[in-house]
């Protein structure tokens, strides 16, 4: 099964902007030519359809063209961004990659290298039996080893056949992230433009939004907090920005309140998805609310003992290196704890992140939300640490805007939290850092 329907749709926008990046701009006609060039180059180098092929490089016309070419040949795409370069060799082995392709040196000098491996995993055999392209995405590894999720790309693509809004979209989440793949496919399927910033800093992102009149910014709460702190949004004309979507981690209410005030003409939408199931359609109660509905066509949700379960037609086939977490009925226990109010849910945090202080539960996001409201706090990450008496204690890693003595901060923190947090929720241990408290994917590290 090829991507004919998607490529034919892109051809209707042949003269329109498809990609804007620091290196230049490309129309849909240009992008289709790059995809065709890559497909021919792979064939000439002896890479047959049905192979497992890495796409190694950062977002740009060549990486997008290569992604489309590999998928259109019925092969399995394994995107590997430079952010995880230290893990590439391990990922290549785990995914049984047969052909490594790098776009980082430019299209004509790009490397296409056979590894000598044979991808024989049963999940790959199933994709070949279906004659469908595949996609392998690695989990963040925040709760252990990186798991390699294998998707039938045809199933992930199915929802994009329904026409949606056509927007100029900044690609913040990378191509090796389910959110980045979703953003790319949504944009191309609807004739929008993919805008690649010069970097994922607030200054670079704001400059790209202003220069290319970006309408949609999909990102994370952590980055949006950094954006507010930087003040870059006030130094650029961002009036084109009609929608900001956020996901990957709980959004602090205090951060959302400040965002709504800073961007009065922009709508905000909480999104939800997982590497294992794709991105669900969502609807926020209002722009300043953390209550959201998730689901939509081809998704079914339920809440059991406060935990969200999801069944999806686009769910992965399984992991290459771990047992499948999907039960016999097709439901995945997401591990996300939620509150329910009729059709609305509010995310409280991951079950694995919950801190147990003497039998009492503490949600890290609740504590982070409060500490972020303190003067001089730039960012914070809260987690549980072992304690011989209570089992765990609440520990915070704090990044300050300006120097402050640890003793003075701790006194100020306890006073600030006194009337707003139960005593056992107040961090008993505080560490200070000058380093980011988030990962390369702009998600808090706990």
Residue 191 lies in a domain: yes
pLDDT in tens, 287-339: 999 999 998 788 999 999 999 999 999 999 999 999 999 999 999 999 999 99
Does residue 101 contact residue 55 with C-beta atoms inside 8 Å?
yes
CATH of the domain at 73: 3.40.50.12780
130 plus 119 within the same structural domain: yes
d(CA 47, CA 392): 53
Q: Is the pLDDT of residue 109 over 60?
A: no
36 plus 80 within the same structural domain: yes
Point out which residues pair with 134 in neighbouring strands: 76, 152
pLDDT in tens, 199-234: 999 999 999 999 999 999 999 998 998 899 899 999
- Last residue of some domain: 301, 336, 351? 351
What is the rounded average pLDDT for all residues in the chain? Answer: 92
In 86-191, beta strands by DSSP E? 99-102, 111-114, 134-138, 148-152, 168-170
Cα→Cα distances 323→117, 135, 149, 249, 342, Å: 23, 18, 11, 24, 34
d(CA 73, CA 3): 9
pLDDT, residue 298, reads 84
Mean pLDDT for the stretch of residues 146-155: 95
Which band of pLDDT confidence, cut at 50, 70 and 90, is reported for residue 144? low
Residue 300 lies in a domain: yes
266 plus 413 within the same structural domain: no
Does residue 409 contact residue 373 with C-beta atoms inside 8 Å?
no
Measured in degrees and rounded to the nearest 5, phi and psi for residue 395 equal -125, 140
Does residue 51 contact residue 99 with C-beta atoms inside 8 Å?
yes
Q: Is the pLDDT of residue 85 over 90?
A: no
Mean pLDDT for the stretch of residues 264-282: 93
Does residue 6 contact residue 158 with C-beta atoms inside 8 Å?
no
pLDDT in tens, 180-192: 999 999 999 999 9
Point out which residues pair with 332 in neighbouring strands: 310, 326
Point out which residues pair with 379 in neighbouring strands: 399
Mean pLDDT for the stretch of residues 99-111: 76
Does residue 187 contact residue 167 with C-beta atoms inside 8 Å?
yes
342 plus 418 within the same structural domain: no
What range defines the domain where residue 415 resides? 354-432
DSSP state of 251: P
pLDDT in tens, 370-410: 999 999 999 999 999 999 888 999 999 999 999 999 999 99
Which band of pLDDT confidence, cut at 50, 70 and 90, is reported for residue 83? confident
- Last residue of some domain: 308, 328, 351? 351
Walk across the sheet containing 344-350 and list its strands.
272-274, 278-284, 292-295, 344-350, 331-341, 307-312, 299-304
Residue 445 lies in a domain: no
CATH of the domain at 408: 3.30.300.30
Q: Is the pLDDT of residue 168 over 80?
A: yes
411 plus 299 within the same structural domain: no
Which band of pLDDT confidence, cut at 50, 70 and 90, is reported for residue 84? confident
pTM value is: 0.88
149 plus 62 within the same structural domain: yes
Measured in degrees and rounded to the nearest 5, phi and psi for residue 103 equal -105, 0
Q: Is the pLDDT of residue 427 over 80?
A: yes
pLDDT, residue 436, reads 87
Residue 442 lies in a domain: no
Residue 438 lies in a domain: no
Task: Please state, for a pLDDT cut of 90, what percent of the chain lies above it.
Answer: 80
Mean pLDDT for the stretch of residues 23-33: 96
166 plus 34 within the same structural domain: yes
pLDDT, residue 206, reads 98
Among 261, 269, 272, smallest CA distance to 244 is for 269
Answer with the residue of higher pLDDT: 85 or 242: 242
pLDDT, residue 296, reads 79
- Count CA atoms within 13 Å of residue 91 on its CB side: 30
The tokens of 26 are what?
A: 């490309």
Residue 248 lies in a domain: yes
- Last residue of some domain: 299, 332, 351? 351
Helix pair angle (364-371, 406-417), 10° resolution: 110
Residue 152 lies in a domain: yes
Q: Is the pLDDT of residue 142 over 60?
A: no
Residue 427 lies in a domain: yes
Number of domains making up the chain: 2
Q: Is the pLDDT of residue 91 over 70?
A: yes
The tokens of 198 are what?
A: 């010069």
pLDDT, residue 1, reads 62
108 plus 252 within the same structural domain: yes
Which band of pLDDT confidence, cut at 50, 70 and 90, is reported for residue 349? confident
84 plus 134 within the same structural domain: yes
81 plus 148 within the same structural domain: yes
425 plus 336 within the same structural domain: no
236 plus 259 within the same structural domain: yes
Mean pLDDT for the stretch of residues 166-177: 94
Cα→Cα distances 312→18, 138, 295, 302, 360, Å: 30, 19, 9, 12, 34
């Amino acid at each position: 099964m090829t991507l004919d329907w998607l490529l034919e749709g892109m051809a209707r926008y042949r003269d329109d902007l498809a990609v804007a990046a620091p290196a230049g701009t490309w129309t849909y006609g240009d992008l289709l030519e790059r995809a065709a060039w890559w497909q021919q180059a792979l064939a000439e180098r002896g890479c047959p359809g049905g192979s497992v092929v890495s796409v190694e490089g950062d977002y740009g016309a060549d990486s997008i063209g290569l992604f489309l070419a590999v998928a259109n040949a019925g092969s399995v795409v394994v995107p590997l961004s430079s952010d995880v370069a230290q893990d590439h060799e391990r990922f290549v082995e785990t995914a049984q990659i047969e052909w490594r392709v790098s776009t980082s040196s430019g299209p004509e000098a790009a490397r296409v290298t056979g590894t000598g491996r044979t991808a024989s995993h049963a999940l790959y055999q199933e994709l070949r039996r279906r004659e469908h392209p595949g996609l392998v995405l690695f989990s963040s590894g925040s709760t252990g080893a990186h798991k390699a999720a294998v998707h039938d790309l045809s199933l992930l693509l199915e929802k994009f056949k329904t026409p949606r809004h056509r927007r100029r979209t900044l690609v913040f989440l990378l191509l090796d992230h389910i959110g980045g793949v979703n953003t790319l496919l949504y944009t191309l399927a609807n004739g929008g433009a993919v805008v690649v910033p010069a970097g994922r800093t607030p200054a670079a992102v704001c400059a790209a939004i202003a220069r290319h009149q970006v309408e949609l910014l999909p990102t994370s709460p952590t980055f949006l907090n950094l954006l507010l702190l930087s003040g870059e949004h006030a130094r650029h004309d961002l009036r084109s920005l009609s929608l900001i979507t956020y996901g990957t981690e709980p959004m602090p209410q205090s951060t959302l309140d400040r965002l709504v005030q800073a961007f009065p003409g922009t709508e905000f939408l909480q999104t939800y998805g997982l590497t294992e199931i794709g991105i669900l359609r969502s609807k926020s109660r209002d722009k300043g609310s953390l209550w959201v509905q998730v689901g939509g066509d081809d998704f079914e949700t339920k809440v059991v003992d406060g935990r969200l379960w999801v069944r999806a037609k686009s769910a992965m086939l399984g992991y290459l290196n771990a047992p499948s977490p999907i039960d016999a009925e097709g439901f995945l226990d997401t591990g996300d704890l939620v509150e329910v109010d009729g059709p609305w849910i509010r995310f409280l945090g991951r079950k694995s992140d919950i801190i147990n202080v003497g039998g009492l539960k503490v949600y890290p996001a609740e504590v982070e939300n409060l500490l972020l409201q303190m003067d001089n706090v730039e960012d914070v990450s809260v987690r549980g640490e072992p304690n011989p008496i209570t089992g765990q204690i609440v520990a915070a890693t704090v990044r300050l805007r300006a120097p402050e003595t640890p003793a003075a901060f701790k006194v100020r923190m306890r006073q600030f939290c006194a009337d707003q947090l139960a005593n056992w929720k107040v961090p008993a241990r505080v560490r200070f850092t000058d380093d980011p408290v988030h990962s390369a994917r702009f998600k808090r590290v706990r």
